[in-house]
């Protein structure tokens, strides 16, 4: 099983397991972590002030991969585009995922363009997608 995990914050094996159906063991899977370079606001996005967002995304991906690897889960990380849909599309070019799990925030803590719809992801990319429980 190949799992593509889109996350905006570091996560651990416990949260990953909680998001998966019971018949999927993450220790038997290949996991690709994609941390999109999300902007805090539309102004930063449109001014192309991406350095902080890229650095944060890189740190989120590396920390998540390290945590998962420490729990025996084969995981790699990559920094994605600021548009989460583009980040997913780019990742799928080299990592043909069987399932996509979305770990994104909602509500008042949501970053610009972080509102990713799992139904749209599934339809657009032909891969089952689900939003992880908060």
Query: For residue 79, what are the CA distances in angstroms to 34, 54, 107, 110, 134?
Result: 6, 7, 23, 18, 22
Query: For residue 36, what are the CA distances in angstroms to 21, 28, 54, 92?
Result: 24, 25, 8, 14
Contact call for residues 36 and 80 (beta carbons, < 8 A): yes
Nearest to 66 by CA among 89, 35, 101, 92: 35
What pLDDT does residue 112 have?
A: 45
Q: Which helix (H) or strand (E) holds 29?
A: none
Run means of pLDDT, 10 residues per run, the chain, 134 residues = 94 93 91 88 55 88 97 94 92 97 67 71 96 81
User: Rounded to an integer, what distance in angstroms lies between the CA atom of residue 4 and that of residue 119?
Assistant: 15
**Tell me, what CATH number does 29's domain have?**
3.40.50.620
What pLDDT does residue 116 have?
A: 81
Instruction: Give exposure, 50-78, as e/b (b: 16+ Cβ within 10 Å).
Output: eeebbebbeebbebbbebbeeeebebebb
Give me the number of domains the chain comprises: 1
Query: Where in the sequence is the domain holding 120, given as residue range(s)?
Result: 2-18+25-131
User: Rounded to an integer, what distance in angstroms lies between the CA atom of residue 108 and that of residue 122?
Assistant: 25
What pLDDT does residue 108 have?
A: 55
């Amino acid at each position: 099983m190949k799992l593509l995990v889109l996350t905006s914050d570091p996560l651990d094996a416990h949260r990953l397991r909680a998001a998966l159906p019971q018949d999927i063991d993450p220790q038997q899977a290949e996991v690709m972590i994609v941390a999109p370079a999300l902007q805090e606001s539309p102004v930063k996005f449109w001014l192309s002030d991406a350095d902080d967002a890229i650095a944060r995304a890189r740190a989120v991906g590396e920390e998540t991969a390290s945590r998962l690897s420490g729990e025996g889960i084969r995981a790699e990380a990559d920094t994605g585009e600021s548009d989460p849909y583009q980040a997913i599309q780019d990742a799928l070019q080299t990592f043909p995922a069987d399932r996509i799990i979305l770990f994104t925030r909602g509500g008042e803590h949501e970053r610009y363009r972080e509102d990713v719809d799992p139904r749209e992801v599934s339809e657009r990319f032909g891969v089952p997608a689900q939003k992880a429980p908060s």
